[in-house]
């Protein structure tokens, strides 16, 4: 008993833990753990560093290599990102591993069953956190991939586009509808060309931020409907550039876009809605009105 | 059962932070912070600044100690460093070298 060490649940160690005797880890260790005794990593433990001992029994999270003089046993709930090596290795169902696994004598006589990863994915925890962060960040600024996906949804309701920050076009759209149009291209695939270029052709945008239309040149004859459309288009540019999403709700968006333009409000991003024929027609009508 | 036990033969070099009770039978070098009781058992060695609710020294401690509640240096215990605590006891047979600030 006296030679068993316990890193309790509420305990964090930054640094190395080494010595003799058994160790049970229920808390956090940011550093290597090494002993000549057994190591037990509890379900709630988090270790960032390599772990070595006689028999390692892991039910928690380890980001680092596991080296057992006798055995490495991963239990249900274990999450390991790192290499495993020991004469005996056991991976129970429900354990996640990402890394190289080598069993048997350490002389390397046997070929390793190379990255016998039970499951190839990040620890769930990490993933969840990322998601949450994205959401938080998104609201305010930055045009991250994840963000765009969300914007259109809110815009569908005809509300002011969220991402005011990064997008200059947005403001432009507000003040002078014909102006911006700018990028749109990034957003819209070739097909969209019809809607967008018109706006661009007409206006010389103060060249905000985004890359200017790359793929398509403005097509002649498209100009007529320009002002109205460009307004909405520009806004859309500002709002979202994700194809999938926009395409998902063309009707709603274009509708709101129209509204926005008329009312002088910032129009939400119809962008790709132009892809759908119906949307385009409707738009045109709007323009002519 | 104590929350965290640094067993005999084990050495921690770095920072140990916890809300749990800590029992040191081995060695800790660096920083030791606990929201609870820290006891350094006979044979335990701590070379660290210690912050705790209360500290009991039966082994050897070197470093400055701040305790929100109390510090007890037991017979056979040895503490070298400045001490800040509301209450302090030094048992007969204990050794201590340092300044004491009892926040009078």
Domain ranges of chain B: 4-91
Nearest CA in chain A to B14: A15
Closest CA to A252 of A228, A266, A231, A268: A268
CA-based angle A67:A72:A74, to the nearest 5? 125
Nearest CA in chain B to A17: B12
3-state secondary structure of A196: helix
Q: What is the mean pLDDT of residues A141-155?
A: 44
Distance from CA of A215 to the nearest CA of B (A): 56
Distance from CA of A16 to the nearest CA of B (A): 5
pLDDT for residue A284 is more than 70: no
Nearest CA in chain A to B19: A10
Strands A11-19 and B10-18: antiparallel
Contacting residues of B for A19, CB less than 8 Å apart: 7, 9-11, 26-27
Q: What is the pLDDT of residue B15?
A: 95
Q: What is the pLDDT of residue A104?
A: 76
Integer Cα distance of A226 and A203 in angstroms: 9
Strands A33-35 and B27-34: unpaired
Contacting residues of A for B24, CB less than 8 Å apart: none
User: A156 vs A66, which has greater pLDDT?
Assistant: A66
pLDDT for residue A66 is more than 50: yes
Instruction: Please tell me what DSSP assigns to residue B2.
Output: -
Kindly report which listed range (A15-19, A30-34, A270-274) carries the lowest average pLDDT score. Answer: A270-274
Integer Cα distance of A225 and A87 in angstroms: 75
Contacting residues of B for A2, CB less than 8 Å apart: 7-8, 25
Integer Cα distance of A195 and A218 in angstroms: 9
Integer Cα distance of A205 and A105 in angstroms: 69
Nearest CA in chain B to A21: B9
- Could you say which of A2, A8, A18 has the minimum Cβ distance to residue B4? A8
List for chain B the helix, strand, coil content (%; round to 5).
Answer: 0, 65, 35
Integer Cα distance of A108 and A102 in angstroms: 8
- Could you say which of A3, A16, A20 has the minimum Cβ distance to residue B13? A16
Closest CA to A286 of A249, A264, A255: A255
Integer Cα distance of A177 and A188 in angstroms: 19
Reported as a single tens digit per residue, the pLDDT across B29-88 is 999 999 999 999 999 999 999 999 999 999 999 999 999 999 999 999 999 999 999 999
Place of tokens 């201590």: B96
Q: What is the mean pLDDT of residues A139-156?
A: 44
**Inter-chain residue contact B18 with A35, CB threshold 8 Å:** no
**Inter-chain residue contact B16 with A4, CB threshold 8 Å:** no
* pLDDT confidence tier of residue A172, bands split at 50, 70 and 90: very low
Contacting residues of B for A4, CB less than 8 Å apart: 5, 7
- Could you say which of B8, B18, B21 has the minimum Cβ distance to residue A3? B8
Q: How many CB atoms lie within 10 A of CB B49?
A: 16
Q: pTM higher than 0.90, yes or no?
A: no
Task: Determine which helix (DSSP H) or strand (DSSP E) holds B55, and give its type and residue range.
Answer: strand B45-57
Q: Tell me the average pLDDT of chain A.
A: 62
Integer Cα distance of A272 and A265 in angstroms: 20
Q: What is the pLDDT of residue A4?
A: 87
Integer Cα distance of A274 and A210 in angstroms: 20
Two tokens at B86? 């509301």
Reported as a single tens digit per residue, the pLDDT across A245-275 is 444 444 444 444 444 444 445 555 555 544 4
Q: What is the mean pLDDT of residues A119-138?
A: 42
Integer Cα distance of B77 and A73 in angstroms: 41
**Inter-chain residue contact A5 with B26, CB threshold 8 Å:** yes
User: A215 vs A72, which has greater pLDDT?
Assistant: A72
Find the chain B residues whose C-beta atoms sit closer than 8 A to any C-beta of A. Answer: 1-22, 25-27, 30
CB pairs under 8 A between A and B: 90
* pLDDT confidence tier of residue A108, bands split at 50, 70 and 90: very low
Instruction: Please tell me what DSSP assigns to residue A216.
Output: -
Contacting residues of A for B11, CB less than 8 Å apart: 16-19
């Amino acid at each position: 008993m006296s030679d068993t060490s316990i890193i309790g649940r509420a305990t964090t160690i930054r640094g190395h833990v080494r010595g003799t005797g058994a160790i049970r880890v229920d808390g956090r260790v940011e550093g290597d753990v090494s002993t000549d005794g057994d190591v037990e990593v509890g379900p709630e433990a988090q270790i960032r560093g390599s772990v070595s001992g006689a028999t390692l029994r892991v039910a928690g999270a380890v980001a680092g290599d596991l080296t057992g003089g006798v055995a490495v046993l991963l239990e249900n709930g274990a999450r390991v990102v790192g290499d495993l090596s020991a004469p005996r290795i056991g991976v129970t169902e429900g354990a996640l591993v990402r890394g190289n696994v080598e069993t048997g004598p350490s002389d390397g006589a046997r070929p390793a069953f190379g990255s016998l990863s039970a499951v190839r994915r990040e620890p769930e925890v990490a993933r969840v956190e990322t998601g949450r962060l994205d959401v938080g960040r998104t609201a305010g600024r930055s045009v991250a991939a994840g963000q765009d996906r969300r914007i259109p949804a809110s815009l569908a309701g005809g509300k002011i586009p969220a991402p005011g920050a990064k997008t200059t076009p947005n403001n432009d759209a507000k003040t002078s509808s014909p102006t911006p149009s700018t990028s749109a291209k990034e957003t819209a695939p070739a097909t969209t060309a019809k809607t967008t270029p018109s706006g661009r052709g007409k206006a010389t945008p103060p060249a905000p931020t985004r890359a200017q239309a790359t793929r398509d040149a403005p097509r002649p004859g498209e100009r007529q409907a320009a002002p109205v459309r460009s307004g909405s288009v520009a806004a859309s540019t500002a709002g979202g550039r994700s194809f999938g999403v926009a395409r998902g709700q063309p009707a709603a968006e274009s509708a709101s876009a129209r509204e926005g333009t008329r009312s002088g409000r910032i129009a939400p991003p119809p962008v790709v809605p132009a892809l759908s024929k119906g949307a385009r027609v409707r738009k045109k009508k709007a323009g002519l009105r | 059962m104590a929350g965290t036990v640094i067993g005999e033969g084990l050495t921690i070099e770095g920072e140990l932070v916890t809300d749990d009770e800590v029992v040191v039978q081995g060695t800790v070098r660096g920083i030791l912070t606990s929201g609870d009781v820290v006891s350094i058992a006979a044979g335990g060695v701590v070379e660290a600044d210690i912050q705790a609710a209360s500290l009991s020294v039966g082994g050897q401690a070197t470093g400055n100690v701040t305790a929100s509640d109390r510090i007890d240096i037991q017979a056979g215990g040895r503490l070298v460093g400045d001490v800040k605590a509301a209450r302090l006891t030094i048992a007969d047979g204990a050794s201590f070298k340092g300044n004491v600030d009892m926040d009078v």
